[in-house]
Amino acid sequence: MKRLLSEIRVSDIGDILTGNTPSKKNKNYFEGKYPWIKPTDIVIGNRYVESTEETYSSLAFKKYEKYLLPPGSTCVVTIGTVGEKICLAKEPSFTNQSINAIIPNEYRFDPMFVYYLMKYNLPKIAKRNPGTASGRHHVSKSNFMSMKVSVPTLIIQKMISVILASYDDLIEINQKRIKLLENSARQIYSEWFVKFKFPEYKYTEIIETEYGPIPKEWIWKKLVEIADINASTITPKNAPKKIHYIDISSVNEGQISEISELLFKDAPGRARRTVKNGDIIWSTVRPNLKSFALILSPKKNTIVSTGFAVISGKNVPHSYLYCAITTDTFTQYLTNRTRGAAYPAVNVIDFKNALILYPSPKILEKFDEYTSPLLFLIHTLKEENFILKQTRDLLIPKLISGEINVRDLGIDIGG
């Protein structure tokens, strides 16, 4: 027997706040301690935003203090990526105007449950988009607030939260492990190839070059000399029937949050670039967002957007190439070469001309021995997270709708 659900409006859950964007002309509004969440900061499938590209200063805090969101507020994107992006505020935060946030009345609604409730209702939110002349998706605040949702009692809400949060807790533990492993690989890279404290460095002569001092027998090369860029693409004539597609919106600083299994005929027109094991994908659009990832053990017929540059190493291990072209220095190199104000992007030639330090083969081999196991363990943890997310997302509709009766599961909600 299904439990009783009460139909309410989103506005009944609590206060609904729409964020703001301070004037960019006043730089004193930014670079403070208060997170400022924008849609581009939200990673699809992640519960929290771990870091934001920009922050509010104390000056901006004073101006927009009444829009400060407490931890546990659910942030839903209602302009642009409508029906796709949602997150839970982990700490006191602000948002921009593309986000409507729900601050739940905790006497009636469990904050964690509200997050999963709105995640479940993302498709319904997408359908409330009336369309605009510009073609940009937009659900007005009044339209968002009037949307009806079905909720169980507070006790049931808490039981559902315990189940679903346990998956996100495991995902976040894995993400912390991934970050530690990535930091380890990058620290080795920095010690060896920035500080030049590689094995037996004390016995290696340092020579001067046009671009600075480097160990003898090492040389500077253009990326195109050690890697192919966009080596392989497909066309409608040679495309497989089914593909596994990766879009730019699914990639964020080394993580791929979603791989869509599609019939090629239903795939976006930009689904053209092929990838293989060891390839690195780098978004050519807004490189400052660091939308890059290392491809390991991809499924057959994995295709990525033409918005990516696909970098395939030639006689250089992918472990070294990945670390070398995902540093802050390389990111800044790309950012400095963006063209276009509304849609800042770099060209393939910018990747080809990038200078990369090419160490001796012996050092490359030794570096690969140290770091390849780390990168593969990172890949394994990411695969585990992918399965956890799939399982969680399968459970959400069954739990929210009441198809699974949580009363029979013996869930301990404490207190």
**Could you read off the pLDDT of 19-30 as tens digits, one per residue?**
999 998 999 999
Q: What pLDDT, on the 0 to 100 scale, is given for residue 135?
A: 55
What pTM did the predictor assign? 0.84
pLDDT in tens, 97-107: 999 999 999 99
Q: By percentage, how much of the chain surpasses pLDDT 70?
A: 96
Lowest mean pLDDT among 2-16, 110-124, 153-167, 258-272: 2-16
Q: What pLDDT, on the 0 to 100 scale, is given for residue 407?
A: 82
What are the b/e assignments for 234-271, b being 16+ CB within 10 Å?
A: beeeebeeebbbbbbbbbbebbbbbbeeeebeebeeeb
CA distances, 346 to each of 155, 176, 282, 343, 351 (Å): 52, 31, 11, 10, 8
Band of residue 12 on the pLDDT scale cut at 50, 70, 90: very high
Q: Which CATH number fits domain 219-358: 3.90.850.10, 3.30.70.1050, 1.10.3720.10, 3.90.220.20?
A: 3.90.220.20
Q: Is residue 55 within a helix (H) or strand (E), and if so which, with residue range?
A: strand 54-56
Find, among 368, 367, 355, 84, the residue nearest to 201 by Cα: 367
Q: Is the pLDDT of residue 345 over 50?
A: yes
Give CA–CA dist 125/122, Å, rounded. Answer: 5
Q: What pLDDT, on the 0 to 100 scale, is given for residue 62?
A: 95
pLDDT in tens, 131-182: 654 457 889 999 999 999 999 999 999 999 999 999 999 999 999 999 999 9
Q: What pLDDT, on the 0 to 100 scale, is given for residue 1?
A: 41
Terminal C-alpha separation, the chain = 27
Q: From edge to edge, which strands make up the β-sheet containing 30-37?
A: 54-56, 30-37, 94-95
Find, among 96, 92, 110, the residue nearest to 42 by Cα: 96
Higher pLDDT, 224 or 404: 224
Q: What pLDDT, on the 0 to 100 scale, is given for residue 44?
A: 87
Q: Is the pLDDT of residue 219 over 80?
A: yes
CA distances, 276 to each of 51, 186, 299, 382 (Å): 30, 23, 9, 17
State mean pLDDT over 256-281. 94
Higher pLDDT, 2 or 302: 302
CA distances, 319 to each of 27, 163, 288, 323 (Å): 38, 37, 22, 6
Give CA–CA dist 69/86, Å, rounded. Answer: 15
Band of residue 415 on the pLDDT scale cut at 50, 70, 90: low
Q: Is the pLDDT of residue 218 over 60?
A: yes
Q: What pLDDT, on the 0 to 100 scale, is given for residue 258?
A: 87
Lowest mean pLDDT among 55-64, 164-173, 337-346, 385-394: 337-346
Give CA–CA dist 256/250, Å, rounded. Answer: 6
Helices (H), 212-309: 223-226
Q: What pLDDT, on the 0 to 100 scale, is given for residue 339?
A: 93
CB 351 within 8 A of CB 326: no
Give the CATH superfamily of 6-151: DNA methylase specificity domains (3.90.220.20)
Q: What pLDDT, on the 0 to 100 scale, is given for residue 383?
A: 94
Q: What pLDDT, on the 0 to 100 scale, is given for residue 132?
A: 55
Q: Is the pLDDT of residue 3 over 90?
A: no
| Mean pLDDT rounded to a whole number for the chain | 93
Q: What pLDDT, on the 0 to 100 scale, is given for residue 133?
A: 44
